Structure 1
């Protein structure tokens, strides 16, 4: 009798959490809010172009830009980047989605030191997956994904606990409301960001100038970042490299062309990356991609040096603002269309 009551109680609690947790999401951080909405993106099974990546693409590229470059309609571009995305997420999306897109011919993705090294974003991605990511069977059957998400039984158990009791996935976000004065002051802005992200999903497939609310946040040349230190990005996360290699091989198996972008960071961050030699691992991966013989086209476009004097093109250290997105869109169109025309002449 007691066991039956306990099971019924847990069921009721789980049901209550599933019905009410959406009302707590507006009080979460920006990235969590984005992941929450990204789960329910609508997409066209007739898509020909797939765009994957992290918040650099979210903030720096419009689906319209890709559609213009590829000479396809806007609804034939499937735009699925997410902030704090890592190669395990890219591989998972590839395995989940590409087989359902019979007309798919090309993938766009961005690679940078943020997704080839072990850093705070790596850990953030894992927690975001636990809290907002959908469970797929290949997260267990694929050895690299299992290693990334479920390195031990406790990790797997935690994922299923959150699936049943979603409040646990919000605990780190909501608990801070009660003790962190900065978070308390930020609650109104979070609600506005919630609305802005929701609108971006509906109108722009999720393309959104990072943390903008009807404004265009802009860096200035004199802005100082005393805590900026990209040393950790110089390290190699072996698992990330293995995941990237498997993802590239998966695209090759599906006969997809791939465009790899190194989207520029702010001048301050690019200079620090250069000083700390933090581009080495990413550059080695680019070299491997360019030197390895693939049947289908693989092209790497490195734009890291494009905006080294254009401080006003950035919303923060890592994201382009609207002015920067427009400039980068023009640069991308010119570069890729010139490359396409050159290739056509060569044939």
Structure 2
């Protein structure tokens, strides 16, 4: 009996110690982990009329201020919840979590690309990020699609619970790289700076942040190589992703909330390779399906911008993310597209 009590007290103290000190370790982690950790501090404003979801392309490419200007609402009426490496399962889960808290919501913005319609490394990364930093809600257990995505067996569920009690386990891959990977060791100072900038963006701009920026404006070198046909992995269809996207749409349509899909551009070389490998086909077919019904066009809108920057290397910080110059240029294009859509819709009435 004494041994059992000793072990329980030890585990309790260990858990408390980890929860009190985990914030000291996260600044040494890679960018996406830091972002997910800090995103837990976001506050859901029940007065929000517009919700923004998606992955790091939204984080770096679309600001809450831009959405507020486009929609004619105040910045406090825009709830901005994208996360890097986000997938449709995370977007659906986020929707289910905030749904009861947003009685005034009218519109949802979200980005969709081959990265979240195919099975790829980002899919696996999202799962691990959820285990390490995501909240735990019963929807993940009770919703069949979310359960399939995150907890396909009891081992997955056990691992999530272990990390909730002992959060260091969620940082194990980051810690291992810091110990064994010389490149990660060299990158420590930059990671700490990025953590500070992400934290500041959470406090001032709900997490809107030019990807990898630490006060500068990173610019992609036009000579940087994108291996030929490397986007081939994005051409396959992940059936679960498509089912999740349809369930996401159904959820908001049932509540009379309009959904705006954005296809934000990747860098020129990546977009050209995607075109060559036909990796856009799954996303394009999905867009065609959801806009096929004329009645559906009133509550589901698709803006496809994949071809707008096919020669503009200076607008990108890396192969997948816009930089500040690209964000500014994209804002002009997005505002014009929405204005033209609203004008044409008004004429058609």
TM-score range, shorter chain: over 0.9
Which shifted more, 29-38 or 212-221? 212-221
Deviates more, 1:5-14 or 1:219-228: 219-228
Structure 2: distance between partners of 1:295 and 1:67: 22
TM-score by length of 2: 0.97
Equivalent residue number for residue 8 of structure 2: 7
List per-residue Cα deviations over 1:68-110 (Å, max 9, x = no partner): 1101111101111000000001110111102211110000000
Q: Distance in 2 between matches of 1:296 and 1:157?
A: 43
TM-score, with length taken from structure 1: 0.98
Correspondence list, 1:189-338, <5 A: 189-226=190-227, 229-292=230-293, 293-294=295-296, 296-338=298-340
C-alpha distance 136-38 of structure 1, shift in aligned 2 (>3 A): same
SS at 1:175 equivalent? helix
Distance 1:135 1:162 in 2: 11
Shift of 1:42: 1.9
Residues 28 and 188, structure 2, Cα contact 8 Å, conserved in 1: yes
CA distance in 1: counterparts of 2:18 and 2:100, whole angstroms: 33
Structure 1 residue 54, shift from structure 2 partner: 0.3
**Paired residue for 1:128?**
129
Q: Which residue number corresponds to residue 108 of structure 1?
A: 109
- For residues 90-149 of structure 1, give each alpha carbon's deviation from its aligned partner in whole angstroms, at most 9, with x where no partner exists: 110111102211110000000000000000000000000000000011000000000000
Matches of 2:330 and 2:307 in 1, distance apart? 12
Cα 1:191–1:227 shift into 2, 3 Å: farther
Q: Which ranges in structure 2 are unaligned for 5 or more consecutive residues?
A: none
My pick for the range that moved more, 307-316 or 216-225, is 216-225
Cα pair 1:266 1:311 within 8 Å, conserved? yes
Stretches of structure 1 lacking an aligned partner (at least 5 in a row) = none
The residue that corresponds to 1:345 in the other structure is 347
Return the alpha-carbon distance in structure 2 between the equivalents of residues 87 and 166 of structure 1: 25
How far, CA to CA, are the matches of 2:208 and 2:288 in structure 1? 29
Structure 2 distance, partners of 1:199, 1:20, is: 20
CA distance in 2, matches of 1:295, 1:68: 23
Q: Distance in 1 between matches of 2:223 and 2:233?
A: 25
Stretches of 4+ moved more than 6 A in 1? none
